[in-house]
Structure 1
């Protein structure tokens, strides 16, 4: 904040994401973001420890792309989730849970021959030594997504099409679909691609790094963790990642608690992350993507895009599950508008997104 306690002036906003060609000039595209990918029923343990020792689990939902769609919808954006689920009770629950966030699910198809995917995980961090994930998604309904089962027309009327590298690992048909969606073509919406490397999904294959690099370089916006790029491609600095991915106009390199760095053409912006009292580390990457995309859709400058990414990630980090309501737009805008010194002093703990929870947002 300034000395008077008011937010610092914002940098000049960049142009918002353009409307997709072929949509009504007065109304714009029907959707602001369409997110395509598999979502599953997630079983969360009731206590820490190895899966073999956990006696019971709570049912929730999980999926990188639907997480982004739900967070964007909760932030006031018009979103659609596109996928396939089984004609089972788990598919019923998944559709209802995603729709409850305000995301359109009418383009999700039901597969009578394949089940909805499931997975179980331990309570600790995805990168921790004891972390376990048990997937039951082989042959799932979503793994049958392809250019034939997901018509491109159902994805066109949007400003942003959000994809991740998870889908590419599910099946040859899913990879063919992502190659089709990232191919240059007239009227293509802005394609956002989160690398989202999941080593277990690529086990037994050697083409993962090349496939992820190919898809990333064909996108307009790429989000990747610095540690992730080191693991997948052996690239250890933002400069090296940018040199390897010259194609995307927008490239965001996430650096964990250190913050994130954004390339917008030749311009580079770096923003530290606020200090967060972490309850659970899952879901933060998807939340960051949603915050960044929300600010991009609103035409905010690079600094604010990164800050909104950090704030929505902080909302996810301070709750136990993958999904949580993001901070109210006015609340997030106020925090994103702080001057650099005040931003650097932010301390965010559980409950900080609640209206009137000023004590949870400490700016000494």
Structure 2
């Protein structure tokens, strides 16, 4: 839902899990990258923000292992603020591997059940929910919520509601990984609660249909509207985004000319769209910016490219 006119925002926090990405090659070799859905969005936001007054920070928990240190180093290279990252002595960073088919569609294998990110906002820790107050906008995803214990998840949603009452903006992508949730009903309930504390919604139609069992895009749009979602974009892949503000009409989006790997398509869209909004762009311009960045990213292997 949106509360009147939206104020400008320049201090952005992305909350979630950063992981080590194992990218296979037909030769049998593998490349290690640093990635993760909300982290990918932070990377693209930080790259877009260079030379502007917009700052991007990442909020997560990491271990003390070599790969956690690598992730921290790469964040700093991209200009992402790392002052609000918990460091755990008893947990490590999570891992995932990507396989892509001939059409560029990907499948994932995860090793994340004991990742440090699952302890974010949990005692004992120095990073608390009070950190939200330091930012103009907070962005998170369904994965950000699904990895947390139920009690912490509830506390985070409550904190986001209080943050909004104090003038903060919340952006949310219901990015869905069924295996991360306790059960299907919990995913439905948590996402419904999140839409109630969201200002800018950036879900994908596929995720929304998977979570709620909607039979069509029209059903997704009707349900989101009934939930109070009136700002943002519904991602529809090559069809381009749908304007959830319903303030534009007749927009068309050129399909990507080259599709190699669709990893981070939605994450990069979110960054392009949200940065345009942060910069004061109108809805049509922001939708186009998100679509163009996503189209560029899926022309390359892996989640992260330099832009």
Using structure 2 for the length normalisation, give the TM-score: 0.86
1:62 equivalenced with 2:41 (yes/no):
no
The question of 1:271 aligning with 2:248 is answered no
CA deviation after TM superposition for structure 1 residue 81, in Å: 0.5
Aligned mates of 2:134, 2:229 — CA distance in 1: 21
Which sits farther off after the overlay, 236-245 or 79-88?
236-245
Do the aligned partners of residues 282 and 299 (structure 1) sit closer, same or farther apart at CA in structure 2, a change above 3 Å counting?
Answer: same
Relative to 1, partners in 2 of residues 1:217 and 1:80: Cα closer, same or farther, differing over 3 Å? Answer: same
Greater Rg over alpha carbons, structure: 1
Query: Residue deviations 1:311-351, cap 9 Å, x none?
Result: 1111211111101233xxxxxxxxxxxxxxxxxxxxxxxxx
The CA deviation at 1:257 is 0.7
Q: Distance in 2 between matches of 1:207 and 1:127?
A: 31
Measured after TM superposition, the shift of residue 125 of structure 1 is 8.2
Deviation string for 1:170-225 (max 9, x for gaps)?
13255234323432443241100001011232365542122222212321111111
Shift in alpha-carbon separation, 1:204–1:263, aligned structure 2, 3 A = closer
Shift in alpha-carbon separation, 1:127–1:192, aligned structure 2, 3 A: farther
Match 1:142 to one of 117, 131, 138: 117
Aligned length: 293
Q: Higher helix proportion, which one? A: 2
Q: Distance in 2 between matches of 1:105 and 1:270?
A: 41
Q: Secondary structure at the match of 1:224?
A: coil
User: What residue in structure 2 maps to residue 159 of structure 1?
Assistant: 136
Query: Which structure 2 residue ranges, 5 or more long, are not aligned?
Result: none
1:41 alignment partner, one of 8, 11, 20: 20
Q: Partner residue of 1:260?
A: 241
Whether 2:298 is the aligned partner of 1:317: answer yes
Structure 2 Cα separation of the partners of residues 273 and 286 of structure 1: 18
Q: 1:269 to 1:72 in 2, by over 3 A?
A: farther
Residue 57 of structure 1 deviates from its aligned partner by 1.5
Counterparts in 2 of 1:16 and 1:101: CA distance versus 1, 3 Å: farther
Contact 1:195 1:212 in 2 (8 A): yes
Alignment root-mean-square deviation, CA: 2.5
- Residue 11 of structure 2 corresponds to residue 17 of structure 1: no
Q: CA deviation at 1:273?
A: 2.5
- 2:54 matches 1:73: no
User: Would the aligned equivalents of 1:220 and 1:247 in 2 still touch at CA under 8 Å?
Assistant: no
- 1:280–1:319 Cα contact (<8 Å) kept: yes
Q: Aligned residue for 1:183?
A: 161
Distance apart, 1:231 and its partner CA: 1.6
| Change in CA separation of 1:270 and 1:81 when aligned onto 2, cut-off 3 Å | farther
Matched, 1:168 2:149: no
How far apart, in 1, do the equivalents of 2:306 and 2:104 lie?
24
Per-residue CA distance 1:81-119 (angstroms, 9 max, x = gap): 110000110110000111111111121111001111111
Cα pair distance change 1:294/1:174, threshold 3 Å: same
Q: Is the alpha carbon distance of 1:269 and 1:217 closer, same or farther for their aligned partners in structure 2, counting shifts above 3 Å?
A: farther
CA distance in 2, matches of 1:217, 1:269: 26
Q: What TM-score, normalized to structure 1? A: 0.74
1:240/1:227 Cα in 2 relative to 1: closer, same or farther (>3 Å)?
same
Q: CA–CA distance in 2 between the matches of 1:204 and 1:57? A: 33
Report how far residue 16 of structure 1 moved.
6.0
5+ unaligned residues in a row in structure 1: which ranges? 1-13, 20-30, 48-53, 327-364
> 1:102 aligns to what?
79
Aligned to 2:229: 248
Kept after mapping to 1: 8 A contact 2:209/2:220: no
